[in-house]
Amino acid sequence: MSVTSTHFEQACPVCAGAARHVGLYRKNGFLVGRCEGCGLGATQLGTGFDPKEIYTAAYFEGGAHDGYADYPASEAVLRRGFRRTVDELVRLGCKGGKLLEIGCAYGFFLLEARRRFEVAGIELAPEAAAACRARGLDVHQGPVDAGFLESRAPFDAVVMLDVIEHLEDPAETVRLVASQLRRAGLLLITTGDWGSLPSRLLRSSWRLMTPPQHLFFFTKKTLSRMLADNGFEVVSCRYPWKTVPLDLILYQLLRMCRLPNRSIPQLGKLGLPVNLFDALQLVARKL
């Protein structure tokens, strides 16, 4: 639904201040607009928005309109992909030391990363954070916490996998990360590419256009600018293949077709290599 005559003022993490946004369309009852200054996509949020209401056990276990079919049951498939992400950090020169993951869910990436790193994590969902700690992982439950970071810093690598688009203030999180990252340390981010061909063609029907879970919609240009403004240089940007649990593929297809969601646990143990070239992996080095 086009609403291009609607405008709104909202803080822009790339422009670093209040900015005028032109409304593009409504999705899930929320207006999505583009910053007139830098082009970053943003969800207009009213007062009283609380992300804790979204990221509950239901979000990971098939009980949310937009979430995972059964994240815990897909551990084996997800960990194979996370192993490749660890290998990417090693390939880019980060072979050990301390690693922090922001938005670590059930800790599957951290379990792979601790083969090479001393790991810590932050997770908003209480049930997911508790599951991490039950497996011996050092995980803080709640939003990004400066005290927790300072007590574990300095880090050699920080990872945010499909997380930055969920943050209410991604620039502030990047600034905090930069303050606790060693010089030449790496920040690895994955997120949807709002400038990709699927996004441009599908517009409000794009699979990653899911407000209010996704608050911002980055392109390579806007993400690179936000990182550069906070003391990073991009050293790698690519569109990697991803092994996706079959139950998640089914779950998302049913959601996009507006059909009732259903989870088939057996499918979570099987994965399919997928690349729609609409999700980027960007690695930046602290200057």
CATH number (domain holding residue 181)? 3.40.50.150
On the question of pLDDT at 257 being above 80, the answer is: no
Q: What is the pLDDT of residues 208-249, one digit of tens each?
A: 999 999 999 999 999 999 999 999 999 999 999 998 878 777
Model-wide pTM > 0.75: yes
The domain of 235 spans: 50-286
On the question of pLDDT at 275 being above 80, the answer is: yes
Domain-located, residue 68: yes
Q: pLDDT higher for 260 or 129? A: 129
Four-residue CA torsion sign, 57, 274, 111, 177 = negative
| Greatest mean pLDDT range, 58-62, 203-207, 248-252 | 203-207
Domain-located, residue 219: yes
Q: What is the pLDDT of residues 204-215, one digit of tens each?
A: 999 999 999 999
The CA–CA distances, whole Å, from 211 to 30, 113, 165, 246 equal 7, 30, 10, 23
The rounded mean pLDDT for the chain is: 91
- Tell me how far apart the alpha carbons of residues 268 and 109 are, in angstroms, rounded to a whole number: 17
Domain-located, residue 119: yes
Contact 44, 10 (CB under 8 A): yes
Domain-located, residue 1: no
Q: Is 92 exposed, middle or buried (0-12, 13-18, 19+ CB in 10 A)?
A: middle
The model's confidence at residue 118, banded by pLDDT at 50, 70 and 90, is very high
| For the chain, counts of helices (H) and of strands (E) | 9, 14
Domain-located, residue 3: no
Domain-located, residue 193: yes
> How many domains does the chain contain in total?
1
Q: pLDDT higher for 284 or 29? A: 284
